[in-house]
Amino acid sequence: MTKKIVTRAALIDVLSQWQQQLMTTEKMQLWMLDNFEPDEYIIGQGESEEVVEAMHMVMNEYELADQDKCLSDKANLAIDFINTDSDSFISQKSEFLRNAFID
């Protein structure tokens, strides 16, 4: 069985569409649900370890969050986190987890 691949660009595209309100929160979450199956999908193939981990965290957080807790105007925090490097990983992770959702 061939695994499907979720690229960083594809994930950023979904988040950008959601931020620009070209996609509803429900559709964004459905995309996350449909594409975040680590046994069936390769997430971030060829990316650094930090980017792969960030992609996993972003997809997992958005698929599990209540729709009314997701802030589309803060999607840039997820995008910044996905574009992380080893020097900014911890700070980007913290910023995303603290500010991308309503508590």
How many CB atoms are closer than 10 A to CB 9? 9
Mean pLDDT of the chain: 95
Dist CA 92 CA 73 (whole Å): 16
Q: Is 76 helix (H, G, I), strand (E, B) or coil?
A: helix
Q: Is 70 helix (H, G, I), strand (E, B) or coil?
A: strand
Q: What's the token pair of residue 59?
A: 């997809």
**CB-based contact 47:55 (threshold 8 Å):** yes
The domain tally of the chain equals 1
Residues 6-39: tens digit of each pLDDT: 999 999 999 999 999 999 999 999 999 999 986 7
Q: Residue 11 belongs to what domain range?
A: 4-99
Least confidently predicted of 2-6, 48-52, 61-65: 2-6
